[in-house]
Amino acid sequence: MHRRFGLALAVALALGPAGAMTAQAVSAVDPSEVRTRIEAQRSSAKVALAEKERACKQAFAVASCIDAARKEQRAVLTGLRNEELALDEAERTAKADRRRKTLLDSEAARNARPAEGAASAARRSTRHAASSAPSGAEASAGAVDRPKAASGVGHTAHRTADEERRKAEFEARTRSAQAHREAVERRNAQRAASGKKVAPLPVPDAASAP
């Protein structure tokens, strides 16, 4: 840090007797050290002027001596002020550069997020498709089970049709028996009315039940 400060100071002195410093030279050192040095040089310039004024009072041409001393001090203070302004400008430029870099980084991060999201969605879709696809053994087992399932469905449909047929036959026999019973009852009633012996109703065959 001290070597860098010394180099910047040498550059400043080479620019002129006032020690004015450019923004490029200021950017090479710590701004706080530069400001501390400027204040120290201002104080030294005031002390030097006071000493020169005392010396001028001992000279023959007092007024011209003091004017020359004050002119020299103004030149030093002007140079220090110019150096301070250059430092201010360098700090503003650096701050603007940092802000510009922050904005560019933020914009780059925002632009990168959609691309990352699309890539992540594609990876998730690929993993889901791979996990959903059946393995070779599962596919073979499914192919074997499908004929069995179809056979089971056909057997169930056949059994249902057979049961429906037997039920319809039973209902037909029941209606026929009911009609026969009603006919016998009417005939018996007619015989009873005419004084003839009534024959008993036949007992339904147990084998006729479904």
User: Are 120 and 167 part of one and the same domain?
Assistant: no
104, 178: one domain: no
Across the range 63-79, mean pLDDT stands at: 93
pLDDT band for position 97 (cuts 50, 70, 90):
very high
Residue 136 lies in a domain: no
Q: pTM higher than 0.75 for the full model? A: no
Q: Is residue 132 part of a domain?
A: no
What range defines the domain where residue 194 resides?
A: 158-201+206-210
How many other C-beta atoms can be found within 10 angstroms of the C-beta atom of residue 113?
Answer: 9
Determine, yes or no, domain membership for 139.
no
Residues 98, 165, single domain; the answer is: no
Residue 23 is assigned to a structural domain of this protein: yes
Mean pLDDT of all residues in 25-54:
86
Instruction: Please say whether the beta carbons of 41 and 76 come within 8 A.
Output: yes
What is the average pLDDT across 37-51?
94
The overall average pLDDT reported for the chain is 76
What pLDDT shows up at residue 28? 63
| Higher pLDDT, residue 17 or 34 | 34
